Amino acid sequence: MHILSYLGSFFQARITDPIIIIGSGRCGSSLLKRILDSHCQLIAYPDEANKLWHPNSYPFSQKSIGTPSYVEDPGGFSRLSVKNWPTNYHNQISKVFSDFFHKKSCGKRILVIKSAMISFLLPEIYSIFPKAKFIHIYRSGPSVIESFLIKEWTKYDSYFKDKEEYLKFCAKCWNSTIIEIDHQKSMLKLTDKNFFELSYEGLCAEPNETFKSLSDFLGISSHKFRFDISSIKSTNDKVGNYNCKDDKRKLLEIMSPAMKLKGYV
């Protein structure tokens, strides 16, 4: 009887309905996570848990399987990562997040999970968390890849011959991520009830309206965010005109499908 009771509580403890923040990286997802974490009903997992999502291929310098880096080929990286997940690994992922939530939630009712390296894993995530709600935050391609150059280049300088090559791969990564998320949304038949999109630019320009839209989507009060709205400032103005130089125009050509898809062109 005690065993049955234990098993019952064990299965009940597994969360099924977290909020999953997805995006290309350098797109404002960390800002969005901090905003959601400031709400009295939401608690965010403290890091991106990339080692959990990609146990055999992250960090890239310690990978145990042959994969390209995420920037080089996010789709290929993700497929090989999932292919090499240990047996029943879906349960392990669920357990880690569920254990954190039940230990740390302190009355908060929804878990927020964010990673820039899970945008190609939506089918797997949906099978682990069948009631999950996805929030896709996106940002103009040139701003994203310039931010990658400033913040991430030192991590990858040994994998690319120069910064120009690195930027081309960043542009391809951004473009493929935007298109893949749109494709997976369609394949999984995600609707306005479980999929929400916003732009970094819109968040910075109209934070109050964005907070209200997010609250409606999540079913929470828009008046209980404790985030300092005045601190939300766009950094897109640091990016120069990509139409001025040939090398920048080539990057724009790489990103043009997703730029058009999201209304930037």
Alpha helix (H) residue ranges in the chain:
2-12, 29-37, 50-53, 74-83, 89-104, 122-128, 141-156, 163-187, 200-205, 207-218, 246-261
**pLDDT on residue 241:** 81
**pLDDT on residue 19:** 98
**pLDDT on residue 246:** 85
Q: Residue 118: give the domain boundaries.
A: 15-261
Using the CB atoms, write b or e for 16-41: b if 16+ within 10 Å.
Answer: eebbbbbbbbbbbbbbbbebbbebeb
Residue 233 belongs to a domain: yes
**pLDDT on residue 243:** 79
Residue 209 belongs to a domain: yes
**pLDDT on residue 5:** 42
Residue 128 belongs to a domain: yes
Q: Which amino acid is at 206?
A: E
- Which pTM value belongs to this model? 0.93
Residue 164 belongs to a domain: yes
Eight-class DSSP state of 231? G
Helix (H, G, I), strand (E, B) or coil at 199: strand
How many domains does the chain fold into? 1
Residue 9 belongs to a domain: no
Strands 19-22 and 195-199: unpaired
Residue 2 belongs to a domain: no
DSSP 94-132: HHHHHHHHHHH-TT--EEEEE-TT-TT-HHHHHHH-TT-
**pLDDT on residue 240:** 77
Residue 70 belongs to a domain: yes
- Predicted confidence pLDDT, tens digits, the chain (265 residues): 445 444 444 445 789 999 999 999 999 999 999 999 999 999 999 999 999 999 999 998 899 999 999 999 999 999 999 999 999 999 999 999 999 999 999 999 999 999 999 999 999 999 999 999 999 999 999 999 999 999 999 988 888 999 999 999 999 999 999 999 999 999 999 999 999 999 999 999 999 999 999 999 999 999 999 999 999 999 998 887 887 788 899 999 999 999 999 999 8
Residue 61 belongs to a domain: yes
Crossing angle for the helix pair 163-187 and 74-83, to the nearest 10 degrees = 60
- 251: domain CATH number is 3.40.50.300
